Amino acid sequence: MNLLLAVDVPPISNVTIWGAGPLGFNKTAAIYLFAAVATMLLFYFGTRRKDALVPSGILQNSAESGVGFVRNQIIMQTMGTDGLKYLPYLTALFFFIFFSNITEIIPFVQFPANARFGMPLALALITWVIYNVVGVVKQGPLHYVKNSLIPPGVPKPILILVIPIEFVSTFIVRPFSLMVRLFANMLAGHLILVTFAALCAGLWAAKVTVVIMPFSFALLVAMTGFEILVAFLQAFIFTILTAVYIDSSMHPSH
């Protein structure tokens, strides 16, 4: 027990905050730059041979599989054919978030940029703007506000309670929950990996018996594999919720 207490686990600030270079450029900004460039390159090289009937090469197969996944598993499941016009944005959103998350398992990087709340907040606000603009354009300002705040079949006497709840839920909680869900999950996973990595390093340096070390290392490997799944799931959840919110603006329930 005393040996475990002696293991030095760095504080949160040491694993999420770094010094900034010129113009405030730091590790987080570099990861987002990588995610943006990787997304653009994937679809540039993956779609430049549009005349090919059968996709060839890793990039083209990955790009077409990614587009097909977003189209069939996100848009068609939530928005139907009316949502196909949003395919480019939703596909780019999915891959940008995924590439920003997956850097957590890349050696010498080992940090998901979305563990900082700035970009998740920006993406959530973009979603907020899109679904509100779509609602105003499709339904008109007055009808959009009415359909958003007054659920069908609600008795008039309790509207005084329902309207404030619907307002907070639709216009405040939605973007906030999108931001917190992505940010909190990626930060929690990162801290878990850092904790187990520090534990393994401390036990190894202390020359603990081989009975303890294999279990902690195996758990670190298992958690790393789990974080790959989390990186994908968080990109999927953020994208599908964006599609759901846009669809609710295009097709009000009443």
- Identity of the residue numbered 4: L
Kindly report the pTM of this predicted structure: 0.84
What confidence tens digit (pLDDT) does each residue in 22-34 have?
A: 766 788 889 999 9
Over 60: is that where the pLDDT of 52 sits?
no
Asked whether the predicted pLDDT for residue 158 surpasses 70, the reply is yes
The CB-side HSE value for 192 (13 A sphere, CA atoms) comes to 17
pLDDT tens readout for residues 161-200: 888 998 998 899 999 999 999 998 888 887 777 776 666 6
CA–CA gap between residue 184 and residue 149 (Å, rounded): 29
The domain of 244 spans 2-250
What SS3 state is found at 54? coil
pLDDT digit string, tens, across residues 88-140: 999 999 999 999 999 888 888 888 889 888 899 999 999 999 999 999 999 99
Q: How far is Cα 233 from Cα 226, in angstroms, rounded to an integer?
A: 10
Q: Is the dihedral of CA 218, 219, 221, 222 positive or negative?
A: positive
Residue 9 DSSP one-character state: P
Question: Where is pLDDT greater, at 47 or 53?
Answer: 47
CA distance 114 to 108: 17
- Buried-exposed string 168-178: b where 16+ CB fall within 10 A, e elsewhere: eebeeebbeeb
Total domains in the fold of the chain:
1
CA of 182: how far to CAs of 9, 32, 147, in Å? Answer: 24, 15, 28
Return the pLDDT at 86: 94
Residue 1's pLDDT is: 45
- Give the integer Cα–Cα distance in Å for 95 and 88: 11
The predicted pLDDT at position 240 comes to 95
Q: How far apart are CA 105 and CA 225, in angstroms?
A: 9
Q: What is the pLDDT of residue 193?
A: 75
pLDDT at position 56? 61
